[in-house]
Amino acid sequence: MVKRVIFLALASLLIGFGPAWAQNESLSAEDLLHDNYGYYGLEPEIVTNYISEGHRLGYVRVTVELMLKDADTMALVEHHAPLIRAAVIEILGQQAESTIKSLAGREQIRKKCRDTINLLLEQETGQPLVANLLFTQYLYD
């Protein structure tokens, strides 16, 4: 019984406060419960080169999932998937090795991809469709 109470207390703390990165996002736990979010995965994974600091060519391989503000817009996002893919490849290709390999840099890249995709989708469809962008796989060499 005591273990259960402690577990519930810890779980409520984690849910209530969440990690620091989650508090900085525009989505709240209440938003997630009441909205019609959907997910769209860019297939296949993206593999591209980045600006390396030596004679060796560096590459990054990412799997991108888009969290859509409304699942009903899935067809629009799918229609514009080549534009979205090209934007992510361009952003990754412009990054320095130090940015690609750091956690802070990865977060900066993720936010830039999300914002750029929303800007492009707003130009094409009249509305920003992406609530968040997730790297479900992020490998570099």
Tens digits of residue pLDDT in 55-67: 888 999 999 999 9
Cα–Cα distance measured from residue 82 to residue 99, given in angstroms and rounded to the nearest whole number: 25
Is pLDDT above 50 for 108?
yes
**Which CATH number is correct for 25-140, 3.40.50.300, 3.30.465.10, 3.30.479.30, 1.10.3470.10?**
3.30.479.30
Is pLDDT above 70 for 115?
yes
Cα–Cα distance measured from residue 112 to residue 101, given in angstroms and rounded to the nearest whole number: 16
pTM of the model: 0.75
Residue with tokens 């952003």: 91
Helix (H) or strand (E) holding 61: strand 58-68
Closest CA to 128 of 42, 53, 26, 54: 26
Residue with tokens 């469709």: 129
Tens digits of residue pLDDT in 26-75: 555 555 555 799 999 999 999 999 988 888 889 999 999 999 999 999 99
